[in-house]
Structures are given as C-alpha cells and as structure tokens.
Amino acid sequence: MSIVTFWNGTKEQSGTTFSAIAFAVQSAIQHNMKILLISTSFNDTTTRDCFWKSNIKKSIFGSSAEKISNNGIEGLELLMRGGKITPNRIPEYTGILLRDRLEVLTGVESSNQDLYDKVKEKYGQIISLAKEYYNLVVVDLDRRLNIEYQRTILGLSDIIVPVVTQKAKDIQMIQELINQNDILNRENTVITIGRYMEDTKYNAKNITRNILKSKDIINVVPYNNLLFEAAQEGRVIDIFFDFMKIRERDINYRFTQELNRLFDTTKGKNDMLKMKRGQ
C-alpha cells in the first residue's frame, strides 16, 4: 500500500542497495506484510547475488526451453508492451524469497542497453501497479538512472529514504534539498546514514545535534560484516534468520535494532501522511 524508495542523492557510495535489501528482509521477517523489493539497476547482479547462488538450475532432464526472457523485469516489460499487465500479474514475474512475505524484482542484469532503455521508461508504471498488490514496495533507486526517471519514481514514493555517507557535507546537501521542498520534504523524507560506524566523532547523536539540529536521532544502517559476507554467498535470508536468535550483547544486535527503528520511522511518517491526506 506504500512505496518506500531508497535513494542515493550524493556522489559517494553509501550502501543504498544493501540498506534497501536489509530493510526489506528485516521488515518481511518482523512484520506480516507482503513486501516487494524492486531494483532499478543496470548490468549489475548485486541483488540477485544476495539471495541466489546461481539462477541456472539445470535439471537431470536438460535445460529449459525458456531461452528468451519471460521472467523478471524483462517479462514484465513484454507484458506491458502487450497491454496485458494488471497488479495481480506482477507476482508471476518476481522471485520469491519468503512465501507471502517477500518477493524481489531484480533490475536489468545484462548489458543490453536497448532493453534497459525500454524498461526504465516503465519503472514508474510497474511501481504504481505493484503498490496496489503489495503492502510495501521497497525501491532501490539506482543513481545512474536518468534524472527524469529518478524524479518520476521519487514523485510516486510515499516515503523517500536518502541514504548518505557519514560525511557532514552530504548530510547538509540532503538537508538543503529538503529545505527546497521540491520532491523531498520534511514529511516524506527519512535521512539515513548507510554503512554507519559508531566509533567516530561524526556519530548519529553528534550529527543529529550539531548538523541536523533536531531532537529525533538520525536513522542509520550500520555496516555489518556478516551481511557483507552473506551477500556474496547468496545467504542474506539465512543471516537474517540467524539474527533473530541474537541477544543484546551480540555485536549484530544494534544492526537489527536500527533496521527496526528505520521501519518504525518510515511507518510513522507514512501514517502521518495518510492522516493528512485523509486516507
């Protein structure tokens, strides 16, 4: 019912994709919601690598006849060109991670520029339709996407999560964008620090107090070694199930708690927006 877009508005690498993935997986495990994670990347298999070791399953009876891409975003794009898309048909093209909880729609993984050009025009439509079927649509917005398409997707989003580095300059830049009140505004934006490290002068408390001059502590997605390793081995779901067993003393506890806090913040802002709109 709502769209949360993770967006990197800066020039620095801030861990947007991992933050979006971690947010989607933790939310799906903790809450009984139908969540769709959409990646808008091009020529990149990061999202797929997080969940699957290899997509080729060659059975003992030989390979599949589906040589042309009838799956994923490519299949959806074909369906849209054919004018046959409805919200209920989107799940037929997604990859299932947790049944009835979490599905993923990976971006264009090949280097086929023509295909990407076709697909990027349709992201807005796909996201809008997905919103009607899923409780939560988490979009990992690729910063290499054209500005106009980025603006379209940001415009459709209920909540925008600009993922920034711990640099004061980046945070101030996003703050300025919020003050301009164009696409980002105080109501729909949740600034989040990606790849966060606590043991520095620029920690969440100091940034909140000195740069943001706010009372609500800025959201963070701490850097996590286990997630980094699991992302390369296709075990991200497993690692989050392991995190369910950890206690307060565990070094990974803060990571899950921060993801939960991020969920609560986005949900809170979204509820406020809905109330304002009278929904």
Partner 1 sequence: MTISNILLVLLVILIAGIFIYFHIRSKKNAEIVTNIDVDDQTYTLAKMIEFIKRRLDEITKINLYDIGLSEEELKRRKTKKYELKKALKGCTYGDVNDKKYVKELIYDLLAKEYGVTEMNISKAIPFDIPSVLTPQDKFDILLYFYKKEYAYEALGELINKYKLDDFKYVQGETKPCYVITEEEINDIYEKENLTLAFSDKLNIVVQRIYQQYKGYSSIDEIRDMNIDGVSGGVSGLPESFISQVAQTDSADYLTQIAEHKVQRACDSIWIMFHRKINSFRIFIFWFRSRTKKSLPKYI
Q: Does 63 bind partner 1 (CB under 8 A)?
A: yes
Q: Which of 66, 199, 216, 248 binds partner 1 (CB under 8 A)?
A: 66
Query: What is the CB neighbour count within 10 angstroms for residue 156?
Result: 17
In 3D space, the residue among 212, 158, 151 whose CA is nearest the CA of residue 183 turns out to be 151
Q: CA-to-CA distance for 218 and 262, rounded, in angstroms?
A: 9
**Which is nearer to partner 1, 109 or 158 (by Cβ)?**
109
Contacts with 158 (C-beta within 8 Å, 6 or more apart), sequence order: 2, 3, 4, 188, 270, 273
Q: Does 54 bind partner 1 (CB under 8 A)?
A: no
Q: CA-to-CA distance for 156 and 5, rounded, in angstroms?
A: 9
Instruction: Record the tokens describing residue 7, joined without a space.
Output: 């967006």
DSSP state, residue 176: H
Secondary structure E strands in the chain: 2-7, 35-39, 95-98, 102-105, 136-141, 159-164, 192-196, 219-222
Whole-angstrom CA distances from 260 to 23, 49, 51 are: 8, 24, 21
- Whether 127 contacts 137, CB under 8 Å: yes
Q: Does 65 bind partner 1 (CB under 8 A)?
A: yes
**Which is nearer to partner 1, 60 or 147 (by Cβ)?**
60
C-alpha angle 117-121-123 in degrees, rounded to nearest 5:
115
Q: Does 126 bind partner 1 (CB under 8 A)?
A: no
Q: Find residue 139's DSSP bridge partners.
A: 5, 38
Closest distance to partner 1 from the beta carbon of 94 (Å): 8
Closest distance to partner 1 from the beta carbon of 65 (Å): 4
Determine the interface stretch with partner 1 among 34-42, 76-84, 179-187, 243-251 (rule: CB under 8 A): 76-84
Q: Does 79 bind partner 1 (CB under 8 A)?
A: yes
Residue type, 96: I
- Whether 59 contacts 30, CB under 8 Å: no
Determine the interface stretch with partner 1 among 11-19, 24-32, 54-62, 155-163 (rule: CB under 8 A): 54-62
Closest distance to partner 1 from the beta carbon of 126 (Å): 16
Determine the interface stretch with partner 1 among 53-61, 157-165, 194-202, 232-240 (rule: CB under 8 A): 53-61
Q: Does 234 bind partner 1 (CB under 8 A)?
A: no
Q: Does 275 bind partner 1 (CB under 8 A)?
A: no
Closest distance to partner 1 from the beta carbon of 55 (Å): 12
- Whether 22 contacts 163, CB under 8 Å: no
Q: Does 113 bind partner 1 (CB under 8 A)?
A: no
Closest distance to partner 1 from the beta carbon of 95 (Å): 8
Q: Which of 13, 43, 55, 64 binds partner 1 (CB under 8 A)?
A: 64
Q: Does 99 bind partner 1 (CB under 8 A)?
A: yes
Determine the interface stretch with partner 1 among 77-85, 127-135, 137-145, 183-191 (rule: CB under 8 A): 77-85
DSSP state, residue 62: B
Q: Which of 83, 147, 148, 248 binds partner 1 (CB under 8 A)?
A: 83
Interface ranges with partner 1 (CB under 8 A): 57-70, 75, 78-79, 81-84, 89, 91-93, 96, 99
